[in-house]
Amino acid sequence: MQDYYDLLGLNENCTKDEAKNAFMSKKKEVQGKMLSRNPEERALAVKELGELTSAYKAVVANIIDANATNVPSTDAEGTVISRRTGITTPPKKITESKPPVEVKPDNNVLTLQENKNMMIIFGMILGVLVLGIAVYFVLIQPNKLKNITALTPIVTPAQQKSIIPKIEAAKDKHNGSIASIATLINDTVNKKGNLKGETELLNSAMRVEQEVLDTLTELRNSSEANTRKGRMLIRILQAEQKRISGLVDGLRAGVNGLDYQAGFKIGSEGYYEYDRLNSEYMHFETGDFKPQMAYVKGDDVFLRSAPSTNSSVIKTLKRNSGLDAIAVQTCDDERAGMINTDNVVVGFNGQNIRLAKGQPLTITGENGGTYQCQLNLENGSGTIYVDKVNVKKLYGETWYKVRLSGGTEGWVYKDFIQLKREL
């Protein structure tokens, strides 16, 4: 709990208003980082905002709990004890003397024998009541409990309301908002030839960007973030973030009379990523991918056991080999990668070697503009360091499940397969 207070710069005796002000101040700082041109800085800012939000909720809940339990209690002597401070307050002493009580003689006092008869009757009534209560709890109540149990199902975590439908609706809403922003940009450029002074349009784009970031943060902080659907939706939202961030960067440059093409190019790349990932998500949802005839595009292409370069190789396929594509899936392995440039020279086990485009890698770390990778070749394996511009990360990339003529099935990365037509 102390970590949450430290994260917001608060002490444990803070009020709810103080916690809110601290959170809003920190949130404003993080939102400034979200406008960075560096995608990695923006991603870190999203993560930081999620941590701040969790800390704020925990601190507010702790303040509410503390106030709810801050009810004075008394000890055996009547001393008031504050649960929050532990300070005891002695009870007020009664100094006024009570008047003497006058005892009058009672003419209706029962005789000893009458008292005994009353006790016997009372005991008989009490025995009947006890017997009735015992019969009820032993014979009747268990049957009622069984009926209640049968009628009241136990709600398991899996049956709790899913956040996925809400995220799907937000995803589609963001798509429409971003498309509207792009249309307004094109109309403005066609009409004016530039974007100077279009601050209102820039502010609209920035609001949409914040909405996308909020949805992405909500999903990442949910219990469904690591489910199959959750991971796919995170990648889709990241593509939407790239789309709108590119438009924001382009608009910001255009408003100031600078070149806006670089930002819009990034936005276009985000659009193509979104379109592909969203299409795959819809196929996953409906199961409507139709098997298609295909052939191998590259030389010595690996047929793998799973959609990742880190899965085992089932067979090596020759160029133009025929096969059937029977399913599609995105890569869930963040370490999967491959060489993305021809003739990349790297140091490997004490000597320089040349790697061809498409060479599979396992990304094990990064430092600045370099990836640390594990390279596995027929004559051995070892660690290499490759410039990031020469490596393609395959996380979120499309793979096809294929079936060979003999019935063998496996996975091939999309760049090494060409679809022909539906079967």
CA distance from start to end of the chain: 59
pTM of the model: 0.46
Higher pLDDT, 141 or 311: 311
Give the whole-angstrom CA distance, residue 280 versus residue 298.
Answer: 23
Would residue 42 be called left, alpha or beta, if left means φ above 0 and alpha means ψ between -120 and 50 degrees? Answer: alpha
74-115 tens-digit pLDDT: 444 444 433 333 334 444 444 444 444 434 444 444 455 555
H helices then E strands: how many in the chain? 9, 17
> Percentage of residues in the chain with pLDDT exceeding 70?
74
264-314 tens-digit pLDDT: 999 999 999 898 888 778 776 555 677 889 999 988 899 999 999 999 999
Q: What is the 3-state secondary structure (H, E, C) of 146-158?
A: HHHHHHCCCCCHH
> Percentage of residues in the chain with pLDDT exceeding 90?
45
pLDDT for the residue numbered 50: 78
pLDDT for the residue numbered 88: 42
What confidence category does residue 249 fall into, taking pLDDT thresholds of 50, 70 and 90? very high
Residue 231, pLDDT > 70, answer yes
User: Which strands make up the sheet holding 313-317, listed edge to edge?
Assistant: 313-317, 301-304, 409-413, 398-403, 322-330, 292-296, 417-422
Average pLDDT over residues 110-130: 64
Q: Which amino acid is at 69?
A: T
CA proximity to 420, closest of 259, 271, 290, 288: 290
Instruction: Provide the 8-state DSSP code for 305.
Output: S
313-329 tens-digit pLDDT: 999 999 999 999 988 88
User: Within a 10 A sphere around the Cβ of 223, how many other Cβ atoms?
Assistant: 11
What confidence category does residue 150 fall into, taking pLDDT thresholds of 50, 70 and 90? very low
Residue 336, pLDDT > 90, answer yes
Average pLDDT over residues 141-149: 49
